[in-house]
Chain A
């Protein structure tokens, strides 16, 4: 079945470092791909999404490109801040009668000043 695999954390970076969180997926078709973020004490928030191959989603300095050839959707940010510390979830929707999200295990990012 459809699944999402993302790099395990925690990922610890210093402020202004470059961030990459890897995400790959397995799907029988062409899903939409998402990154959600959960800040401490809050619910999940949509960070960015891409609905077709080669689309780039971007928000708050984060970017991810939908790569069909490598079935990947890696999250990147050029310069992280302490406020980016959170858990990041990669997810897909494969459509159908119900739009259930299929999530990866989440990656905890800790940014130190």
Chain B
């Protein structure tokens, strides 16, 4: 079974440009999460989809970030316009159940974003 995949693996852009990150969850996983790790700090939650609906987007830093999940399958995270502080590693995770005691979130390899 394929794991969570993310594209691209690396992206280098200039300040003010737009970048779109993609995440393909494990097939059949209704829950999809985005997280971000900035400059060796802790990994922070950005948002959570259940199928195509946003369940929680409390971690989104500002309105320059837009996440979508088309048809409840893959998800995209767009940053427009990108700022220097957006640099970091963006992780996607998916899971099958929402019972917090039993859920396991499976993570992708991450997208390393560098904004110059």
Q: How far is the CA of A96 from the CA of B55 in the complex (A)?
A: 11
For residue A103, which residues in chain B have a CB less than 8 angstroms away from its CB? 35, 42-44
**B107 in contact (CB, < 8 A):** yes
For residue B106, which residues in chain A have a CB less than 8 angstroms away from its CB? 46
Give the nearest-CB partner of B106 in chain A. Answer: A46
* Count class of interface residues, chain A: 20 to 34
Q: Give the interface centre of A41, A93, A103 by most chain B CB atoms within 10 Å.
A: A103
Give the nearest-CB partner of B95 in chain A. Answer: A99
Give the nearest-CB partner of B46 in chain A. Answer: A100
Annotate A70-113 by CB proximity to B: 1 below 8 A, 0 otherwise. Answer: 00000000000000000001010111111111111110000000
Which residues of A pack against B, CB within 8 Å?
A: 4, 32, 36, 41-46, 49, 51, 89, 91, 93-106
Q: How far is the CA of A106 from the CA of B44 in the complex (A)?
A: 12
Query: When A and B form their complex, what is the total count of cross-chain residue pairs whose Cβ atoms lie within 8 Å?
Result: 68
Tell whether A45 pairs with B107 under 8 Å between CB atoms, given A98-B55, A99-B95: yes
Partner of B98, one of A49, A99, A101, A102: A99
**B7 in contact (CB, < 8 A):** no
* In contact, A32 and B56 (Cβ under 8 angstroms): no
* In contact, A105 and B42 (Cβ under 8 angstroms): yes
* Count class of interface residues, chain B: 20 to 34
Known interface pairs A41-B109, A99-B31, A106-B42; 10 further A-B residue pairs with C-beta atoms within 8 A, sorted by A's residue number: A4-B42, A36-B107, A43-B109, A45-B107, A46-B105, A49-B104, A89-B43, A95-B101, A97-B56, A103-B42
Q: How far is the CA of A105 from the CA of B39 in the complex (A)?
A: 10
The minimal Cβ–Cβ distance linking B4 to chain A, given in whole angstroms, is 7
Q: How far is the CA of A95 from the CA of B42 in the complex (A)?
A: 19
Tell whether A106 pairs with B43 under 8 Å between CB atoms, given A42-B109, A99-B31: yes
Q: How far is the CA of A98 from the CA of B107 in the complex (A)?
A: 17
* In contact, A106 and B40 (Cβ under 8 angstroms): yes
